């Protein structure tokens, strides 16, 4: 088991955080730490706007950082499951990034 950090870019909507935490709970994954901040400067994530052809407003999206301890074999499964949540725009770990269902090489960390 290895400690991992996941970074999620997600829409700022009621219940979005509860759905992410619920996904971990339902599958028996533990969350070691959790930190959420609204994104005020979207410039580091400009590639997301360009790829999805959207423009996000201040406070419309948040960055969620989750630290968890999981085996390597479960990490990819967790990323795919989180990526299926409708409010999630992008999810990344140290190795890969999923952007609305598309596996990318860019890292959000």
User: Which pLDDT tens digit goes with each residue over 66-90?
Assistant: 999 888 778 778 888 888 888 899 8
Residue 108 pLDDT > 60, yes or no?
no
Residue 86 lies in a domain: yes
Please check whether residue 102 is in contact with residue 48, taking contact to mean a CB–CB distance below 8 angstroms: no
Does the pTM exceed 0.75?
A: yes
Residue 48 lies in a domain: yes
Q: By C-alpha distance, which of 109, 32, 24, 26 is closest to 67?
A: 32
**The pLDDT value given to residue 21:** 92
Domain count within the chain = 1
Residue 63 lies in a domain: yes
Structure tokens at 94: 């140290």
- Mapped onto helix, strand or coil, the DSSP state of residue 46 is helix
CATH no. for residue 44? Answer: 3.30.70.260
Instruction: Give the structural domain span for 72.
Output: 2-104
- Mapped onto helix, strand or coil, the DSSP state of residue 66 is strand
**The pLDDT value given to residue 105:** 60
Residue 109 lies in a domain: no
CA gap 80, 73 in Å, rounded: 12
Please check whether residue 64 is in contact with residue 36, taking contact to mean a CB–CB distance below 8 angstroms: yes
Please check whether residue 63 is in contact with residue 37, taking contact to mean a CB–CB distance below 8 angstroms: yes
CA gap 90, 103 in Å, rounded: 10
Please check whether residue 10 is in contact with residue 88, taking contact to mean a CB–CB distance below 8 angstroms: yes
pLDDT digits (tens, 9 = 90+) for 1-33: 788 899 999 999 999 999 999 988 888 888 999
Residue 98 pLDDT > 90, yes or no?
no
**The pLDDT value given to residue 52:** 84
């Amino acid at each position: 088991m290895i400690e991992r950090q996941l970074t999620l870019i997600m829409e700022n909507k009621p219940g979005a955080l509860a759905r992410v935490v619920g996904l971990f709970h339902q599958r028996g994954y533990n969350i070691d730490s959790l930190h959420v901040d609204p994104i005020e400067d979207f410039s580091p994530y400009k590639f997301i706007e360009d790829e999805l052809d959207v423009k996000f407003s201040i406070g419309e999206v948040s960055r969620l950082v989750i630290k968890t301890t999981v085996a390597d074999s479960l990490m990819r499964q967790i990323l795919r499951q989180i990526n299926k949540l409708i409010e999630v725009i992008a999810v990344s770990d140290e190795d890969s990034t999923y952007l609305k269902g598309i596996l990318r090489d860019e890292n959000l960390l």
